[in-house]
Structure 1
Amino acid sequence: MIGGTGGSGRELSSPPGDGISNLRFSNHSDHLLVSSWDNKVRLYDASSNVLKGSFAQRGPVLDCCFHDDASGFTAGADRTVRRYDFSTGREDILGTHDSPVKCVEYSHTTGQVISGSWDKTMRCWDARAASGQETHPQPERVYSMSLVGYRLVIATAGRHINVYDLRNMSQPEQRRESSLKYQTRCVRCYPNGTGYALSSVEGRVAMEFFDLSEEGQAKKYAFKCHRKSEAGRDTVYPVNAIAFHPIYGTFATGGCDGYVNVWDGNNKKRLYQYSRYPTSIAALSFSRDGRLLAVASSYTFEEGQKPHEPDAIFVRSVNEAEVKPKPKAYVQAA
């Protein structure tokens, strides 16, 4: 059994040698794909703590995602979008951008690979062929992307949010501005498809909804998190990562304070805080059944070049009490 309540979890062996940019669990197994600034993407079996493969690129790998258990996609600082066959080690370049590629997603719904770049474009690729399908200009550099069903949410510099319907990509379904005042770090869609959570460099998370009706928009809110108060002074930390629990719809956030918090968004409450990790939380991912949580403890250079703890990946067993929403108190009418 990996980890346990109260501890950091089990540390994976053979970690990346430089900053961890992202990590993701497979939708089919406990395989974990990890991208990093040491020019490699690694495939682990998180349950058995085995490094199953390591694949090198010409530059830092800024994002990764699974196609299936046998293959995956990467976004690179070398401006490429690549596909890797994990069993043979074969790699194909699906295409390139004009600047580093910050994000990559695979839509199981449509079979498209979607990449977002600092060249201010989002591009869609056919997963079956090395050919670009479409290029969609964005208002600024792409910082984060997330998919749920047919919906794609893109967060860019300048606090812009574009929402697309993958069935009609001619223009965004919605163009929004972040309700948070400062730069966006992460966007993640709700598993039920009704909206998305957005985090910023200024210790806040916004809960947003796709429904544009007055009633739908009345549900949105933002809250402060990953802050520390000492001697009457607040220290505020960027919120780098958001991950939703696949069963309960609660979510974890990770910040530059080294903490992972679990939240019940519907009831607007924090459910749990794990013990502090050695350094900043760069990325988070729940396994497909919600039993495991992968945590990238990796300095994100928010304070520039300085001595810091080695990069590490922790995988912890998730106790139901940490992630299951608590029922609202029942008050009997007089």
Structure 2
Amino acid sequence: MTAVAVAPPIVGKELSNPPTDGITNLRFSNHSDHLLVSSWDKTVRLYDASANVLLGEFKHGGPVLDCCFHDESSGFSASGDATVRRLVFNYGKEDVLGKHEAHVRCVEYSYTTGQLISGSWDKTIKCWDPRGASGQERTLVGTYAQPERVYSMSLVGHRLVVATAGRHVNVYDLRNMSQPEQRRESSLKYQTRCVRCYPNGTGYALSSVEGRVAMEFFDLSEAGQSKKYAFKCHRKSEAGRDIVYPVNAISFHPIYGTFATGGCDGIVNVWDGNNKKRLYQYAKYPTSISALSFNRDGRLLAVAASYTYEEGNKPHEPDSIFVRSVNEVEVKPKPKVYANPPA
């Protein structure tokens, strides 16, 4: 992919009261500019990103590795203490939906089916019905074995994509979880960091520790698979050698279907996947980008600048959350320009 433009050095508005250790994820609500944030400091925080106000906070017994919204005032968390929790911020209440046998790495709530899906390093995913009373036996819908530890998950419609260690990718239909709809292997050679489904439901993007992103499609026909490709990103040349950075985060724009990537180089890029072009590169952030999220109308982008220990335990910048306004020119695909326009 080729670069088109570089943004001026404006990183966005920095939120007050950020987490104090390792931001693992952040997500905008589908209904407002509320932002849910999980971190290694054992907390889940809820912010009003537009007003720059911390609305609430829950403390867990272990690092919180993921979070997602349920509705405007409640969400779910995945914890290193092996619990899956429901958090109700306006009442200050939480309960444990259930447990895994090891760290819970991912949580996703399906608005289509009303289920919560959790993925763990115990090599399982579990589906929960959060509408029932608390307690594992009353809320657990099913447990499904995975080939390896779950690293990342993503939902679109009825489809769930699960990326695990060992470069495995399982694609499920939430209406029939008895076995994967597709069993795949990542087309990237190195460990998966993030998977995110296309908003139009046709496929998913997968990133790796080796500075690459793969664009994949669910359609298994020859024509469908001919569209897939991978590209290099988040790398630089220095003294005649390539320095490669893990790609930690992917977030799709809800209107245009373009997407942002964030890497351990502290850079956020915006890509037009259909036309195979980089649309924008934002000014470098203070440290690694650990998570990204566009808000519901794509006018805001939340960026977690949080050191991910890719270079070991060393002095680093404190964790920060930046919320930047997004201009249309940064995310809207540009029309193709023909050397000889068709008649």
Normalised-by-shorter TM-score class: over 0.9
Q: Distance in 2 between matches of 1:35 and 1:214?
A: 40
Give the 3-state SS of the residue equivalent to 1:325 in structure 2: coil
Q: Which runs of 4+ in 1 moved over 6 A?
A: none
CA displacement at 1:205 relative to structure 2 = 0.1
CA distance in 2 between partners of 1:210 and 1:118 (Å):
25
Distance 1:205 1:232 in 2: 23
The 2-side partners of 1:307 and 1:292 are apart by 30
> Which of 146, 153, 156 pairs up with 1:138?
146
Q: Which residue does 1:15 correspond to in 2?
A: 18
CA offset at residue 333 of structure 1?
4.1
d(CA) in 2 for partners of 1:212, 1:115: 27
Find out whether 1:30 has 2:39 as its counterpart.
Answer: no
1:86 aligns with 2:51: no
Aligned residue in 2 for 1:67: 70
8 Å contact from structure 1 (residues 5, 319) kept in 2:
no
CA distance in 1, matches of 2:194, 2:336: 29
Question: For residues 109-258 of structure 1, what are the structure 2 equivalents within 5 Å?
Answer: 109-129=112-132, 130=134, 131-258=139-266
Answer with 146-155 or 324-333: which moved more: 324-333
- 2:269, 2:282 within 8 Å by CA — same for their partners in 1? yes
Q: Which residue of 2 aligns with 1:321?
A: 329
**Deviation at residue 230 of structure 1 after TM alignment:** 1.3
1:279 alignment counterpart: 287
Which one of 302, 308, 316 corresponds to residue 310 of structure 2? 302
The question of whether the paired residues in 1 share the 8 Å contact of 2:65 and 2:104 is answered with: yes
- In structure 2, C-alpha distance between the alignment counterparts of 1:217 and 1:148, rounded to whole Å: 19
Q: CA deviation at 1:145?
A: 0.1
Is 2:341 aligned against 1:332?
yes
State yes or no: 1:49 paired with 2:52.
Answer: yes
User: Secondary structure of the residue that 2:284 maps to in structure 1?
Assistant: coil
Letter in 2 for 1:53: G
Gaps of 5+ in 2: 1-6
Instruction: Please report how far the alpha carbon of residue 38 of structure 1 lies from its aligned counterpart in structure 2 after TM superposition.
Output: 0.3
Provide, for residues 247-292 of structure 1, a one-character-per-residue CA deviation record: whole Å limited to 9, x for no partner. Answer: 0000000000000000000000000000000000000000000000
- In the alignment, residue 91 of structure 2 is paired with which amino acid? T
* RMSD of aligned alpha carbons: 0.9
> Could you tell me the TM-score, scaled by structure 1's length?
0.98
The number of residues matched between the two structures is 331
